[in-house]
Amino acid sequence: QKEVEQNSGPLSVPEGAIASLNCTYSDRGSQSFFWYRQYSGKSPELIMFIYSNGDKEDGRFTAQLNKASQYVSLLIRDSQPSDSATYLCANAGNNRKLIWGLGTSLAVNP
Amino acid sequence: GAVVSQHPSWVICKSGTSVKIECRSLDFQATTMFWYRQFPKQSLMLMATSNEGSKATYEQGVEKDKFLINHASLTLSTLTVTSAHPEDSSFYICSARGVGWADTQYFGPGTRLTVL
Protein backbone atom coordinates (compact mmCIF):
# COMPACT_ATOMS: atom_id res chain seq x y z
CA GLN A 1 0.00 0.00 0.00
CA LYS A 2 1.56 3.25 -1.13
CA GLU A 3 1.24 5.87 1.59
CA VAL A 4 1.91 9.46 2.44
CA GLU A 5 2.46 10.28 6.10
CA GLN A 6 1.99 13.62 7.78
CA ASN A 7 1.87 14.69 11.39
CA SER A 8 -1.74 15.66 12.01
CA GLY A 9 -0.80 18.48 14.37
CA PRO A 10 -2.03 20.92 15.30
CA LEU A 11 1.17 22.80 14.66
CA SER A 12 1.02 26.13 16.41
CA VAL A 13 3.39 28.99 15.56
CA PRO A 14 3.39 32.69 16.43
CA GLU A 15 2.74 35.25 13.75
CA GLY A 16 5.91 36.10 11.87
CA ALA A 17 7.62 32.80 12.61
CA ILE A 18 8.60 30.04 10.18
CA ALA A 19 6.19 27.13 9.99
CA SER A 20 7.74 23.82 8.97
CA LEU A 21 5.49 21.08 7.63
CA ASN A 22 6.82 17.62 6.88
CA CYS A 23 5.76 14.67 4.82
CA THR A 24 7.18 11.22 4.06
CA TYR A 25 6.10 8.92 1.28
CA SER A 26 6.55 5.24 0.53
CA ASP A 27 6.47 5.12 -3.29
CA ARG A 28 10.08 5.37 -4.44
CA GLY A 29 8.90 5.70 -8.02
CA SER A 30 7.04 8.96 -7.41
CA GLN A 31 8.24 11.80 -9.58
CA SER A 32 5.98 14.68 -8.58
CA PHE A 33 5.03 16.09 -5.22
CA PHE A 34 2.44 18.61 -4.21
CA TRP A 35 1.39 20.81 -1.32
CA TYR A 36 -2.21 21.93 -1.09
CA ARG A 37 -3.84 24.18 1.48
CA GLN A 38 -7.39 23.54 2.63
CA TYR A 39 -9.35 25.96 4.74
CA SER A 40 -12.15 24.53 6.85
CA GLY A 41 -15.20 23.84 4.69
CA LYS A 42 -13.39 24.68 1.47
CA SER A 43 -11.74 22.67 -1.27
CA PRO A 44 -7.96 22.21 -1.58
CA GLU A 45 -5.90 24.94 -3.20
CA LEU A 46 -2.57 24.21 -4.87
CA ILE A 47 0.36 25.95 -3.18
CA MET A 48 3.36 24.34 -4.82
CA PHE A 49 4.58 21.38 -6.78
CA ILE A 50 8.12 20.08 -6.91
CA TYR A 51 9.74 17.45 -9.11
CA SER A 52 13.48 17.75 -8.48
CA ASN A 53 15.60 17.22 -5.39
CA GLY A 54 16.39 20.40 -3.54
CA ASP A 55 14.49 23.56 -2.79
CA LYS A 56 11.85 25.43 -4.72
CA GLU A 57 10.81 28.87 -3.56
CA ASP A 58 7.63 30.81 -4.33
CA GLY A 59 7.12 33.95 -2.29
CA ARG A 60 6.90 33.02 1.38
CA PHE A 61 6.74 29.31 0.58
CA THR A 62 9.64 26.93 0.06
CA ALA A 63 9.21 23.27 -0.80
CA GLN A 64 12.09 20.90 -0.14
CA LEU A 65 12.40 17.45 -1.70
CA ASN A 66 14.78 14.66 -0.77
CA LYS A 67 14.04 11.59 -2.85
CA ALA A 68 16.73 9.47 -1.20
CA SER A 69 15.06 9.99 2.17
CA GLN A 70 11.55 9.98 0.66
CA TYR A 71 10.85 13.25 2.38
CA VAL A 72 9.20 16.47 1.27
CA SER A 73 8.64 19.55 3.37
CA LEU A 74 7.02 22.95 3.16
CA LEU A 75 8.37 26.02 4.90
CA ILE A 76 6.20 29.07 5.36
CA ARG A 77 8.16 32.19 6.23
CA ASP A 78 6.66 35.17 8.05
CA SER A 79 3.58 33.12 8.94
CA GLN A 80 0.31 35.03 9.01
CA PRO A 81 -2.97 34.20 10.74
CA SER A 82 -4.45 33.76 7.25
CA ASP A 83 -2.06 30.80 6.79
CA SER A 84 -4.03 28.89 9.43
CA ALA A 85 -5.41 25.90 7.55
CA THR A 86 -4.81 22.22 6.91
CA TYR A 87 -1.88 21.50 4.62
CA LEU A 88 -2.13 18.40 2.46
CA CYS A 89 0.86 16.64 1.00
CA ALA A 90 0.42 14.46 -2.08
CA ASN A 91 2.52 12.60 -4.58
CA ALA A 92 1.67 11.09 -7.92
CA GLY A 93 1.98 7.36 -8.42
CA ASN A 94 2.67 5.55 -11.68
CA ASN A 95 -1.02 5.71 -12.56
CA ARG A 96 -0.86 9.52 -12.22
CA LYS A 97 -3.42 9.57 -9.44
CA LEU A 98 -2.49 11.57 -6.37
CA ILE A 99 -1.82 9.77 -3.11
CA TRP A 100 -2.85 12.00 -0.23
CA GLY A 101 -1.65 12.45 3.29
CA LEU A 102 -4.20 13.13 6.01
CA GLY A 103 -3.00 16.71 6.39
CA THR A 104 -1.33 18.82 9.05
CA SER A 105 -3.38 21.45 10.83
CA LEU A 106 -1.50 24.74 11.19
CA ALA A 107 -2.53 27.49 13.59
CA VAL A 108 -0.76 30.85 13.37
CA ASN A 109 -1.34 32.85 16.52
CA PRO A 110 -1.47 36.67 16.36
CA GLY B 1 -5.59 30.62 -15.00
CA ALA B 2 -6.59 27.06 -14.08
CA VAL B 3 -10.05 27.84 -12.79
CA VAL B 4 -12.46 25.02 -12.07
CA SER B 5 -16.09 25.64 -11.21
CA GLN B 6 -18.70 23.39 -9.67
CA HIS B 7 -22.44 23.70 -9.60
CA PRO B 8 -24.35 23.67 -7.38
CA SER B 9 -22.26 24.72 -4.39
CA TRP B 10 -24.73 23.10 -2.06
CA VAL B 11 -27.82 20.97 -2.44
CA ILE B 12 -30.40 19.49 -0.11
CA CYS B 13 -32.53 16.65 -1.39
CA LYS B 14 -34.92 14.01 -0.17
CA SER B 15 -33.87 10.41 0.22
CA GLY B 16 -34.38 8.46 -2.98
CA THR B 17 -33.92 11.33 -5.39
CA SER B 18 -31.00 11.83 -7.78
CA VAL B 19 -28.66 14.78 -7.77
CA LYS B 20 -26.39 15.95 -10.59
CA ILE B 21 -23.21 17.92 -9.93
CA GLU B 22 -21.38 19.71 -12.72
CA CYS B 23 -17.66 20.37 -12.89
CA ARG B 24 -16.28 22.75 -15.49
CA SER B 25 -12.79 23.86 -16.42
CA LEU B 26 -13.23 27.50 -17.34
CA ASP B 27 -9.94 28.50 -18.94
CA PHE B 28 -8.31 25.26 -19.99
CA GLN B 29 -9.11 21.91 -21.51
CA ALA B 30 -9.23 19.14 -18.96
CA THR B 31 -8.32 15.78 -20.44
CA THR B 32 -8.81 14.16 -17.05
CA MET B 33 -11.14 15.03 -14.21
CA PHE B 34 -11.29 13.46 -10.79
CA TRP B 35 -14.14 13.18 -8.33
CA TYR B 36 -13.44 13.13 -4.61
CA ARG B 37 -15.58 12.84 -1.53
CA GLN B 38 -14.64 14.21 1.85
CA PHE B 39 -16.38 13.56 5.15
CA PRO B 40 -15.91 15.98 8.08
CA LYS B 41 -12.44 15.89 9.62
CA GLN B 42 -11.31 13.25 7.12
CA SER B 43 -8.99 13.34 4.17
CA LEU B 44 -9.92 13.34 0.51
CA MET B 45 -11.16 10.06 -0.89
CA LEU B 46 -10.85 9.57 -4.62
CA MET B 47 -14.05 8.16 -6.06
CA ALA B 48 -13.29 7.98 -9.76
CA THR B 49 -11.18 9.23 -12.61
CA SER B 50 -12.76 10.31 -15.86
CA ASN B 51 -11.14 10.93 -19.21
CA GLU B 52 -12.95 12.82 -21.93
CA GLY B 53 -14.89 10.48 -24.16
CA SER B 54 -14.16 7.38 -22.07
CA LYS B 55 -15.89 5.51 -19.31
CA ALA B 56 -14.87 6.56 -15.83
CA THR B 57 -12.57 4.39 -13.75
CA TYR B 58 -13.95 3.87 -10.27
CA GLU B 59 -11.96 3.24 -7.12
CA GLN B 60 -12.48 0.05 -5.21
CA GLY B 61 -15.63 0.14 -3.15
CA VAL B 62 -17.31 2.93 -5.12
CA GLU B 63 -20.55 1.81 -6.78
CA LYS B 64 -20.48 2.86 -10.41
CA ASP B 65 -24.25 2.42 -10.77
CA LYS B 66 -24.86 4.75 -7.87
CA PHE B 67 -22.33 7.42 -8.82
CA LEU B 68 -22.72 8.02 -12.53
CA ILE B 69 -19.94 10.01 -14.15
CA ASN B 70 -20.02 11.54 -17.60
CA HIS B 71 -17.11 13.42 -19.19
CA ALA B 72 -18.63 14.40 -22.47
CA SER B 73 -16.34 17.30 -23.34
CA LEU B 74 -12.91 18.66 -22.49
CA THR B 75 -14.46 21.24 -20.17
CA LEU B 76 -17.34 19.42 -18.48
CA SER B 77 -17.76 16.39 -16.27
CA THR B 78 -20.86 15.51 -14.30
CA LEU B 79 -21.42 13.32 -11.27
CA THR B 80 -24.93 12.04 -10.65
CA VAL B 81 -25.70 10.55 -7.26
CA THR B 82 -28.62 8.22 -7.94
CA SER B 83 -31.19 7.28 -5.32
CA ALA B 84 -29.38 9.31 -2.72
CA HIS B 85 -29.55 8.29 0.94
CA PRO B 86 -28.51 10.14 4.11
CA GLU B 87 -25.19 8.26 4.18
CA ASP B 88 -24.34 9.89 0.83
CA SER B 89 -24.32 13.29 2.50
CA SER B 90 -20.81 14.61 2.06
CA PHE B 91 -18.60 17.23 0.43
CA TYR B 92 -18.06 16.29 -3.22
CA ILE B 93 -15.09 17.92 -4.93
CA CYS B 94 -13.91 17.66 -8.51
CA SER B 95 -10.46 18.39 -9.82
CA ALA B 96 -9.11 18.73 -13.33
CA ARG B 97 -5.80 18.12 -15.01
CA GLY B 98 -4.93 19.92 -18.23
CA VAL B 99 -2.96 18.83 -21.25
CA GLY B 100 0.77 18.84 -20.60
CA TRP B 101 0.38 19.60 -16.90
CA ALA B 102 2.06 16.45 -15.68
CA ASP B 103 0.15 15.39 -12.56
CA THR B 104 -1.01 18.77 -11.27
CA GLN B 105 -4.67 18.90 -10.34
CA TYR B 106 -6.74 22.04 -9.77
CA PHE B 107 -9.82 21.76 -7.63
CA GLY B 108 -13.31 23.09 -7.95
CA PRO B 109 -14.91 24.75 -4.91
CA GLY B 110 -16.87 21.64 -3.99
CA THR B 111 -20.52 20.74 -3.59
CA ARG B 112 -22.01 20.08 -0.18
CA LEU B 113 -24.74 17.45 -0.46
CA THR B 114 -27.25 16.89 2.33
CA VAL B 115 -29.73 14.07 1.93
CA LEU B 116 -32.71 14.20 4.27
Beta bridge partners of A55: A64
Which residues of A fall within a CB distance of 8 Å from B44? 44, 88, 100
Residues sharing a CB contact under 8 Å with residue B74, sequence separation 6 or more, in sequence order: B25, B29, B30, B31, B52
Indicate the Cα dihedral angle A27, A30, A33, A39, nearest 10°.
-40
Q: Contact A101/B43, CB-based, under 8 Å?
A: yes
Percentage, residues of chain A above pLDDT 90: 85
More confident residue, B12 or B101: B12
Residue A46, chain B, CB below 8 Å: the answer is: yes
pLDDT of residue B1: 67
Q: Is residue B24 predicted with pLDDT exceeding 70?
A: yes
The least confident of A19-23, B38-42, B92-96 is: B38-42
pLDDT of residue B101: 75
Indicate the Cα dihedral angle B100, A51, A34, A46, nearest 10°.
-50
In chain B, whose CA is at the least distance from the CA of A105?
Answer: B41
Nearest to B104 among A44, A46, A103 (CB): A46
CA distance B47 to chain A (A): 11
Name the nearest CA neighbour of A9 among A104, A110, A81, A84: A104
pLDDT of residue A34: 96
CB pairs under 8 A between A and B: 45
Nearest to B103 among A43, A44, A98 (CB): A98
Calculate the average pLDDT of chain A: 94
With beta carbons less than 8 A apart as the criterion, state whether A104 and A91 touch: no
Q: How confident is the model at residue A44 (pLDDT cuts 50, 70, 90)?
A: very high
Sequential DSSP letters for A69-85? TTEEEEEESS--GGG-E
Q: How confident is the model at residue B41 (pLDDT cuts 50, 70, 90)?
A: confident
